[in-house]
Amino acid sequence: MRIRSQIILSMVGAAALIGLVGGVAVFTQMAATKYLGLTEATNVARELADTIVFEPSAGTPSLLEQPEVLKQFLEQQHRRSQRDFIVVDRNKVIVAHAADEEHKAGEKFDHDPGNEVGRTLQDL
C-alpha cells in the first residue's frame, strides 16, 4: 500500500472516530439531561406536596384544606420560579393551580394521556 493511501485511510479513520465519540457524547448528554430534569421535578414536587399538607399546629388547617390560600401560595411560587403548578386530589380533580394554561378548580385534570398522574396517585 502506498503512503498516500495510508495517509488518506488514517484521516478517514480519525474522522470516523471523532464522529463516533461526538455521537456518544451527545447521546450521553441527552440521557443525563432527561434524568436530571426528572429528578429535579420529582424533588420540587415532593417539597411542594410536603408544604401543602403540613399542619403547623393543632387546629391550624393545612394549605390543602384552604383552597384560596393554596391558590395564593401557588401563584407566588409560580411568579418566583416561573413554573406551572397544579394540585389535584386523588380523583384527579383540580384543587388549585398557578399555570400559564387555563384550568379551573373542580375540573378533572386530563392533560396526561398516558395517565401518568393517575398512576402516580395509585403509588401513594
pLDDT of residue 55: 86
In tens, the pLDDT along 8-21 reads 999 999 999 999 99
| pLDDT of the residue at 17 | 96
In sequence order, the β-bridge partners of residue 108 are 93
Task: Count other C-beta atoms under 10 Å from residue 110's C-beta.
Answer: 9
What SS3 state is found at 96? strand
The pLDDT tens digits of the residues spanning 66-85 come to 889 999 999 999 999 898 89
Cell 385534570 locates to: 109
Helices (H), the chain: 3-53, 67-81, 116-123
Q: Decide if pLDDT at 56 tops 90.
A: no
What's the mean per-residue pLDDT of the chain? Answer: 89
Residues 92-107, mean pLDDT to the nearest whole number: 86
